A and B are shown apart, each in its own frame.
Chain A
Amino acid sequence: MSSPTGGGTFLGLPAVPSRPPYGTGNLRGDRAFPEAAREELGNDQLRRNLAKATRTIRGKRLAVTAELPDWEQLREAGAAIKTDTMNRLPELLEQLERKVTEHGGTVHWARDGVEANEIVTRLVQESGSDEVIKVKSMATQEIGLNEHLESRGITAHETDLAELIVQLAGDRPSHILVPAIHRNREEIRDIFRAGIPGVDPGLDAVPAHLAAAARAHLRKKFMTVPVAVSGANFGIAETGTLSVVESEGNGRMCLTLPRTLITVMGIEKVLPRYRDLEVFLQLLPRSSTGERMNPYTSMWTGVTPGDGPQEFHLVLLDNGRTAALADRIGREALNCIRCSACLNVCPVYERTGGHSYGSTYPGPIGAVLTPQLAGMDAAKNDPNSSLPYASSLCGACFDACPVKIDIPSLLVELRHQHTERSGTTAEKLVMRAAAAVMRRPALFTAAQRVTAAPGRLVAGRDEVVSRLPPPFDGWTDSRDLPAPPRQTFRSWLASEEGAATLREAAEEGRRDREGRAAGREDDDEEAR
C-alpha cells in the first residue's frame, strides 16, 4: 500500500518508501554490467591508468592509516555514529533545518531528483543569473542537475579540475575521487584546446600547465558568477554547520565568493554533533586521498554577515534514500562517506573502470548503493540487477571501508533479494535441482558417478577439459578444467586402500612421536 504522494504513513500503516522515477537521474546505465565491462576490458589505456591510480592511492592510504594507532577505534566510532544517525534521522534533520534557518539559511526538501532539480533551477532563476559555478558533488551528479539546468537555459560550470575535464569532453566521471582518471594528459590537452575559450593554442600536456590553464579560465568565473551550487560532506544537526572537503580551492571559491549558495545534500549526510567531525575529519582524508588531511575544508553555518554568500539554501534530498533505509540489512550502505577507498582496492573496479557500473556511484559501494537508491527490479532486465553480481566477494572493500560497511554481505543480500523477486528462472531451477540432489547423500553419490565418466571422456587422454558448452564456456574461454578423478574421496575412504592408508599414517605418526620422545630422553640423559 502506498499513499498518493508515494510514501508517508497512510491509514497508519507504514509503507515502503518509493524510489525515484525510472529513467530519471544518473543511477542506472543502459546495459548490464558484464556487457558494459566487456567493452571497458578492451581499453588498455583505461586499465593502465586505473591500475596505476588505484595502486598509488592504495599505497598512500595504507601508509597513513597504519600510522594512527587508533585507526580501528576511529572506524568503530565512525560506523556507530552513522548507525546512530540513521536511527534518529527524523529528529536530526528537523534539528538541522531549525539551526540552518536560525542562522539565516533556507531549507528545502526534495522527494527525488526531479524535485531537487526544479528547486535549484527556481532558485537560480530568482537570482537573475543564467550561470552557476559548481563544486564537485556526487548528489548533483546523481540527479543530473547540470543537464536539467542546461535544459532551462542555465550554464553550470564545473570547477573541480577533473569535473571540468569530464564536462568539457561531454564525458561521464569514472571515479568518485578522480573522475577523469580514464583520460591521459594528451587527451586532456586536446579537450582544453577545444573547450576553453581563448586558451593558448600552443598549450602543451604538462599537468602543471594544464592546471594553470584551468585556473585562468575558472578565475574569471569565480569572480563574476553570482550563484554557486555545492554538495556537502557533512551537515551537523546540533549547530546547522555544513562542510565541504576538497583539495584545489575551487570549493572555497564557490562557497565564499558568490552572492548565493545552494547546497544539495542527501539526507543521510547529517551528523548528530559538531564533535563528530573529529572522527570523520580523520577517517575521510586518510581513506580518500591517502593524505593526513586534505588541503582545504570549509565549514559554514547559515549566513555570516560580511563574510561569504549572503543567501544560503540547503536542499535536503531523498531520491531513494528512504527506500534504502527501509531495508534492515541494505541500509548500511547509507553510512558511506564517499571516500572511494573501496574502489581503489577492488580488483573488479580496477579492471572494468567506473563507467561499467552505469551509475554515479561505481565500484563496490556503487554495486550496493545504486540498486538500493534506484531499485534493481524496476523493469524487465533492469541493468541495476547485474550490479550485485559484479563482485568476486573477495572482501577487500570491507577491510578498506572507514565506516566498516560489510559490502560483501550486502552484495550477497541483494543477490538474494533479486532472486526472490525474479520468479522462476533457468538458474533457479538449476539451483533447486542441485540442492535437491545434494540434500540426499545417495543421490549425490550417484550424481558423482554419472558425471565422472562423461567428464573423463570429454577430457580425453590429457585429462584436461578445455571446452565446455554454455553457460560454462565463459570458464573454458580462458581456463582449463581437470578431468574428474577416477575415484571420489568417499569411495577411496570406503575402500581397502583408503582404510590402509589412514592406518599406516596413524602408525607412522605414532612411531615418529615415540622416536622423538626417545630422542628427547636421550638428549636429557646427555644433558645430565
Chain B
Amino acid sequence: MRIGLFATCLGDTLFPDAVKATAVLLARLGHEVVFPPEQTCCGQMHVNTGYQREPVPLVRNFAEQFGDPSLDAVVMPSGSCAGSVRHQHEIVAARYGDAALRARVAAVKAKTYELSELLVDVLGVTDVGAYFPHRVTYHPTCHSLRMLRVGDKPLRLLRAVEAIDLAELPEADTCCGFGGTFALKNAGTSAAMLRDKTDAVRSTGADVCTAGDSSCLMHIGGGLSRIEAGTRTLHLAQILASTRTAPHPLPQPEATR
C-alpha cells in the first residue's frame, strides 16, 4: 500500500522520533511510505483557538499535498491532527473555501487515519512484531477517544507487543489538561488537571507512559519531568517500532536526560 505520511508540525519539529518510528513501522510492514515534501501543518491550533480564515491556506496545502490519488491512505501519528483533518477542514472549507477546496477536503478526509486506525482497520494487523520489555501505561488522548472513536485499538496493538508489561491507567479517559492554547489561556486549571493525570501515571509504577499524540505526551511528559517522577513518555509508534533486533532503548526520564 502507498501511504502518505503527515509528520504534523509538532512531530516534524519537536518530536521527530515518533514520526521516524511511524515511518519505520510502516516500511517494516511492507508498505511504501510517501512523504509529500511541501507539507506543513493542519491548522488545528488555529481552528481550536477561534481562527478559521487564517488556516485556509493550510487546509488547502494539506489537501493538495495528500490529495494525490496514488496515495491509498494518509496517516499521522496524532489523534488530534487526524481529528482536525476529518472534522475541522470541512468546516473551514465550507465557510471560507471554494467548491474545489471543499471537494478536495472531502476526498482527502475519506482516506485519513490516525496510526492505530490505519494499522487495525485498514492494514488489518494488531501484532506488528514489536518487542518492548518494560512496564507501560497507556493514556487514551481525548481526540482519539471521543473525536475519532479509536476505542481499544491502541490497547489491542500494545497487548500484542512481546514482553510488554501493560499497566492500566486509573481514570484513563480523563483529559490531561493540554487542550492546545487552553494550557496557556487557562494555565492554572490545565495544571490542576495535569497534576491528577501525573498522579495517576505514577500510581501505575510504569516506566513509560504512552499515547497516540505527541502534543498530549509533551504535556504529560513536561509535568512528569517537573516533578521528577522518573516515568518517561514515548509515542505509541515508538513502542510498536521497537523489535528484538532493534529494541527501543528505555530513554532517560526527561528531568535527568
Contact = CB atoms under 8 A, between A and B. Distances in A.
Interface of A: 33-34, 37-38, 41, 47, 347-348, 351-352, 388-396, 398-399, 409, 412, 414-419, 427-428, 431-432, 434-435, 438-439, 441, 444, 448, 451-452, 462-464, 466, 471-472, 474-475, 477-482, 484-485, 487-490, 492-493, 498, 501-502, 505-506, 508-510, 512-513
Interface of B: 7, 9, 11-17, 19-20, 23-25, 27-30, 33, 35, 37-41, 43, 45-52, 54-55, 57-58, 61, 87-88, 129, 142-143, 145-147, 173-175, 177-195, 218-219, 221-223, 225-226, 243, 245-246, 254-257
Given A394-B174, A463-B257, A482-B257, 15 more contacts: A47-B192, A388-B50, A392-B190, A394-B142, A395-B143, A409-B87, A414-B50, A474-B185, A474-B188, A478-B226, A479-B183, A484-B13, A488-B13, A490-B12, A501-B24
A41 B182 contact: no
Of residues A347, A466, A492, which shows the largest number of chain B Cβ atoms within 10 Å of its Cβ? A347
A41 B195 CA distance: 12
Contacts of B186: 33-34, 37, 348, 389-390
The 7 closest A-B pairs by CB, nearest first: A392-B179, A474-B187, A415-B50, A479-B222, A394-B175, A395-B146, A509-B28
B183 A474 contact: yes
A241 B141 CA distance: 45
Given A480-B226, A481-B222, A485-B16, A394 B184 contact: no
7 contacts: A348-B193, A395-B143, A415-B48, A480-B221, A484-B14, A490-B37, A510-B30
B217 to A, nearest CB: 10
A386 B102 CA distance: 31
A489 B12 contact: yes
Nearest to B43: A435
Contacts of A512: 28, 129
Contact of B194 (A47, A435, A478, A501): A478
B188 A41 contact: yes
A389 B38 contact: no
B96 to A, nearest CB: 11
Contacts of A348: 186, 189, 193
Contacts of A482: 14, 218, 221-222, 254, 257
Contact of A389 (B185, B223, B243): B185
A129 B25 CA distance: 78
Of residues A38, A348, A435, A501, which shows the largest number of chain B Cβ atoms within 10 Å of its Cβ? A435
B19 A464 contact: no
Given A399-B146, A419-B51, A510-B30, A392 B222 contact: no
B28 A506 contact: yes
B257 A441 contact: no
Nearest to B223: A479
B30 A490 contact: no
Nearest to B51: A431
Given A392-B178, A480-B226, A434 B46 contact: yes
Nearest to A478: B191
Contacts of A398: 146
Contact of B55 (A435, A472, A510): A435
